[in-house]
Amino acid sequence: MAQFNSAYVSVGILGILGGSLLLLVNSYASTPEKDFIPHTALGILLLIIAALIAYTGVRHSLSHSRLFSTLCLTVSALWCGSGLVYILAGQRVLPLTELKSSLIPGLAAFTLALFIIGTAALFVKKPVLLVIAISISLACAHQIAGLSDSDFGQSATAANYLLVCLVCAYFGFGRLLYTITQGKVKPPGTIMKQKNELKTEQNQSCSAVISVGLVMNLLSASVLACPLVGVVPQLSVGHVPWLWTAGVFQLGMCVLFYRAMDTLAATFYGFTSLLKFAEGYSALLSLYSIQPFSPVPFPVVFAVLFFVLALFSCQKSLLDGLYQLFFVAYSISIAAQPQGFFQSGTQGVQGAIFVASAGVLFVTTVNMVSSTKIPTGQGHFKALVTRIRSLTLRALDKDLHTPHLGHSKYADAELLGHACNVLAAFAITATIGNRNPLTVLVLPWAVMAGGVLQLLCGSVAFARGKTLESTAFILYGLMWTVWGLTRFGGLYSETRGFNVAVGIIGFMMFNLLLTIAALFLNVAWFVYAFTFQLILISFLLDAIGALPYGYDIGVTIIFGLVSFYCFLAHIFNSTFQSPQIPLGRPLVNLGGVGGGEGVCPHVPARKAASVQQIAEIMKNGGICGMPTDTVYVLVAACNRPDAVIKAYKVKKQAEDRPMSMWISSVKQLEPVRHLLSPLLLDFMEAAWPSSISMVIPRGPWLDIFGLGDAAKHIGTPQSIAIRSPDCAVATHLINLVGPIAVTSANPTGEADTTHHNQVYAKLGKKVEGVLCDGPSPENIASTVVDCTKIETGQIGFFRVGLIPKSKVLQIFEEVRNRHRQGHTNPGFEYDVPL
């Protein structure tokens, strides 16, 4: 793993080197009259390099190199935004006279952000990161000076990028030298952090992602506040790349926060990304000389959502909650002014957000890397709740988001999904009147909030195994996108009629199935799906010109309120263990259905405590599902004959496909080794652990494992299949339980089980526990070798599976040659009495 981390660091440094070299050459060789590299080419090259650096930053955000990840993602956003601006200028979408006003707001934000990151690098004595961050920060500052005054040449910018190139080249050469000499030569400043340095950062969760999200807020605030202070005349199309870059990066941060099991932060940056896209959309309209109009009441709904989120974010720290209150004020300022982002009140609040984002970025980045922490008000929320006897706070850990059936790499995204439906529902209640639909700021809320973000939530829900929820979010996301583009994208008057009605009827049929399925989940989801069906009916009536007055607004508001209730219930119930806001019980119960009630324990295989729990179930006579190096299997302890018989009956085992026996290692055959062939034992030792099953002669040696009458269900009257799997989870479980009886975790004749959720789906309540490890690593069965005549020096094959026949024969030939030479495994030599 250290080698992979080292490789990613090298890729990131080389990417920064390439971008700096590109800008160095362009800055040094360009003149006020002519640029050395054409704007389009420069922009495309910067985008390619930005993508490479972003990949490195994302990879390191999932490890422990937080500061380096923050630097990579920040530089990537800088070059992505500026690259898009250069492309617009090169394609004449943006007049060259506006290039200055387009670049300065973004460069100003990154000048400050990189300076803060460099300061944090100084605190932890990271000279390479310090020089890179400060040098690029100064390069941005000098570029601003050069754009503001043509007499101020770009030589200073080139000099700063030259310093970055030298440092990156030194680091790259040092890493190469360190690798070639196998660690004997260690140039100062080029060695990866030691274990003791990792301890500080391991407790920071996803701090790098937090810092980058704050940088994006800093960027958009700079763009919006610059017109207020007179740096640029007004928002223009040249500012769209900065705003949408910030939005795209914050969507990426949202996904990474779900990976970090931080639902509150993921929801917050999902909200702020919506603001970035709406701001960019408003700026884009200036290209067509359109003055946008913001529906005055609607942004108040956004303010309420932000306020609820800020209140519950205080459980992380008071700083988080107070910072999010700035966005409450921002949403109110948008609601108070019909021109939205173009008016001074909104821009003034963005100025305050700029200052607040810079301060929070400094605190977060320093706390991320320093052992001395700046107080952020952690623990005050918990202390307050502790004094209220009627409230019991939940523990903030990853187990909070563990699905009932198994485990997931992502936290629950229902909170953001419900909030997006609230925004989309209340947005489309806005009246357009005689205005051009494009001028009314509804499209970004309906398409981005109701569409794109809901598709993201649906994908996360699908990854968590939530079939109904993921289907609902994806279906509703598609509906909001289509309806938003049709009605508020200027297409509605042209397509209104039969074609639109047919499409809506198709959505209604799908949602009807969802509504029926929600009967088996809970009351809240049933009402949720049913009220959306009413919205679809309003769309249909509108398409055919038969919509009663006020019906569409009424049902949309009802759906918005139901969505808000679900939003509030999820954020409250995930914060407090008691009391709980009720979501209701299933309206219909069937066998194996009912919101997960009565389902056997589904525990993550990555935890030792989970394996111990399944082992105790098996020791008490239970049968369980287990992951292996191939597919999932159904297992029972051999020393519990009743469990073996139960597994045989549950499986409805066919006589031609008997159960097999698995062991953790050949050492578990120690009590019967004198009854087995030395060649066979040596072959087992050489071939295992692996996906090789060996069919060996049946004999009295089998009785010692306590199978009793259940022995007849394992193997045939003449032979038995035995195996030691190449799976750490399976091996650990067998070590705890002893040899186990194994069969595939599916009824006879059905396909193999390749996911832990399928175990319960196929076998139902007859299974008493499932170790969950996600999808199977292989969908190919094991190789079954006939060892019944191994003493003659021959083996056969019943089935060639994951391990090729040639590999098995090679192993056997090596073992047989050793025996011919008298070199047997000393661990299996028979005792010779003295």
pLDDT digits (tens, 9 = 90+) for 88-140: 999 988 888 888 889 999 999 999 999 999 999 888 888 888 999 999 999 99
Are the beta carbons of 687 and 811 closer than 8 angstroms?
Answer: yes
Report the pLDDT averaged over residues 625-642. Answer: 90
Residue 742: pLDDT band by 50, 70, 90 thresholds? Answer: very high
pLDDT score of 407 more than 60: no
Task: Indicate whether 256 belongs to any domain.
Answer: yes
Residue 146: pLDDT band by 50, 70, 90 thresholds? Answer: confident
Q: Which domain holds residue 30?
A: 1-190+208-387
Which range of 160-164, 186-190, 229-233, 399-403 scores highest in mean pLDDT? It is 160-164
Same domain, 466 and 431: yes
Are the beta carbons of 447 and 319 closer than 8 angstroms?
Answer: no
Q: pLDDT tens digits for 35-90?
A: 888 999 999 999 999 999 998 888 765 544 678 888 999 999 999 999 999 999 99
Task: Indicate whether 393 belongs to any domain.
Answer: no
What integer pLDDT is reported at residue 357 of this predicted model? 95
Point out which residues pair with 741 in neighbouring strands.
636, 661
Q: What percent of the chain has pLDDT over 70?
A: 88
Task: Indicate whether 590 belongs to any domain.
Answer: no
Same domain, 529 and 626: no
Same domain, 545 and 488: yes
Same domain, 565 and 615: no
Asked whether the bond before 604 is cis by omega within 30 degrees of 0, the reply is no
Task: Indicate whether 394 belongs to any domain.
Answer: no
Separation between Cα atoms, residue 829 and residue 834, nearest integer Å? 15
Same domain, 684 and 771: yes
Residue 1: pLDDT band by 50, 70, 90 thresholds? Answer: very low
Residue 275: pLDDT band by 50, 70, 90 thresholds? Answer: very high
Residue appearing with tokens 């006003």: 101
What integer pLDDT is reported at residue 823 of this predicted model? 58
Report the pLDDT averaged over residues 187-213. Answer: 57
User: 3-state DSSP call for residue 418?
Assistant: helix
What integer pLDDT is reported at residue 834 of this predicted model? 31
Task: Indicate whether 366 belongs to any domain.
Answer: yes
Same domain, 667 and 566: no
What integer pLDDT is reported at residue 791 of this predicted model? 85
**Domain CATH for 807:** 3.90.870.10
Question: What does the buried/exposed string (b/e) look like for 341-363 if buried means 16 or more CB atoms within 10 Å of the residue's CB?
Answer: bbbeebbbbbbebbebbbebbbb
Task: Indicate whether 596 belongs to any domain.
Answer: no
What integer pLDDT is reported at residue 223 of this predicted model? 93
What integer pLDDT is reported at residue 494 of this predicted model? 52
Same domain, 323 and 174: yes
Same domain, 358 and 266: yes
Residue 827: pLDDT band by 50, 70, 90 thresholds? Answer: very low
pLDDT score of 319 more than 90: yes
Residue 387: pLDDT band by 50, 70, 90 thresholds? Answer: confident
Same domain, 420 and 373: no
pLDDT score of 614 more than 70: yes
Average pLDDT over all residues of the chain: 83
Number of domains in the chain: 3
pLDDT score of 825 more than 70: no
Report the pLDDT averaged over residues 718-736. Answer: 91
Report the pLDDT averaged over residues 719-726. Answer: 90
pLDDT score of 654 more than 70: no
DSSP conformational letter for 445 = I
Are the beta carbons of 501 and 486 closer than 8 angstroms?
Answer: no
Question: What does the buried/exposed string (b/e) look like for 739-774 if buried means 16 or more CB atoms within 10 Å of the residue's CB?
Answer: bbbbbbbbeeeeebbbbbbbbbebbeeebbbbbbbb
What integer pLDDT is reported at residue 403 of this predicted model? 57
Separation between Cα atoms, residue 370 and residue 642, nearest integer Å? 58
What integer pLDDT is reported at residue 405 of this predicted model? 52
Q: pLDDT tens digits for 477-515?
A: 998 888 888 777 666 555 566 777 888 899 999 999 999
pLDDT score of 592 more than 80: no
pLDDT score of 158 more than 80: yes
| Long-range contacts, 111-115 (Cβ 8 Å, 24+) | 111/137, 111/138, 111/140, 111/141, 111/144, 112/137, 112/218, 112/358, 113/74, 113/137, 113/215, 113/218, 113/219, 113/358, 113/361, 114/71, 114/74, 114/75, 114/78, 114/140
| Comparison of pLDDT for 459 and 176, the residue scoring more | 459
The enclosing H or E element of 393 equals strand 392-393
Asked whether the bond before 777 is cis by omega within 30 degrees of 0, the reply is no
Q: pLDDT tens digits for 548-563?
A: 888 888 999 999 999 9
Same domain, 659 and 560: no
Residue 4: pLDDT band by 50, 70, 90 thresholds? Answer: very low
What integer pLDDT is reported at residue 97 of this predicted model? 84
What integer pLDDT is reported at residue 107 of this predicted model? 94
Same domain, 349 and 486: no
User: 3-state DSSP call for residue 345?
Assistant: helix
What integer pLDDT is reported at residue 400 of this predicted model? 59
Same domain, 79 and 145: yes
Task: Indicate whether 644 belongs to any domain.
Answer: yes
Task: Indicate whether 828 belongs to any domain.
Answer: no
